[in-house]
Amino acid sequence: MKGLLKSCFYGIKGNLRVIAAIVLILGGICLIIGEPSTVSLFPFLPAPVLAAAAIACLRRESASRWSRYKITMPVRRKDIVKSQYFTHCICALAGMVCAGVFLILVLAVHGNIYFYYGFRDMITLILGGGILALFMGAIAYPLYYLWGEEKTEIIIALSALGAVAAVLLLSMLINFIAGEGPVSDLEYYVSLVIILTIGAASYTGSCYLSVLIYERTEW
């Protein structure tokens, strides 16, 4: 498993340098300008972008024939799939850390002039990107094993759109059930935990589905 994880990280190593440079530049610009709309939007980006990089590395594995070679090694296909899901999780967590550091710097430079609900808004911004990344992975990997590496770019686009749609639909459903009126902190955190739980459950179920698909394929 360690070797598989190393290969996954080597696969995204080249993309990470480009992504890190872009994140630093955009984050620096947002930090200096301090525009409320950009401050609220930027923290959602690092986790999904890193998740997309984890998915895109499958294309590089196919180009180098590593995806074909590793199935001849003494490892189970289940472990190959698990290593990809584990790498995806680490990328999502790294993106959430980036979002947290950005928000701390914003508060240090500009003060708390952005968050009406204070800490609860920050938690939403940090977890929001991670939840999007989970749904992206839940959608992308089964599609990859069904469609193959030739459609990796389409899969990334569909997974991003599907993740946004899933989060929006869940939020609308919870708001509809909760009804109109002010939302207390307890109700808000409960709804956030529900969305996170559904995302984690979808991601876990997707892993088992990907294993089933991959074990039945000939490549």
Give pLDDT, residue 139: 95
Give pLDDT, residue 181: 66
What is the token pair recorded at 151? 């459609």
H helix intervals, the chain: 2-33, 36-41, 46-63, 66-69, 77-110, 119-147, 152-178, 185-215
What is the token pair recorded at 50? 């890193």
Each residue's pLDDT tens digit, 134-176: 999 999 999 998 888 778 889 999 999 999 999 999 988 887 7
Kindly report the pTM of this predicted structure.
0.86
Using the structure block, give the residue that is written with the tokens 């472990």.
Answer: 79
Each residue's pLDDT tens digit, 19-71: 888 888 888 888 888 778 788 888 889 999 999 998 888 776 665 555 555 55
Identify whether the C-beta of residue 80 lies closer than 8 Å to the C-beta of residue 70.
yes
Task: Give domain limits for the chain.
Answer: 2-215
What Cα–Cα distance (Å) separates residue 82 from each residue in 16, 146, 148? 21, 17, 18
119 Cα distance to chain centroid: 22
Give pLDDT, residue 152: 86
CB atoms within 10 A of CB 175: 12
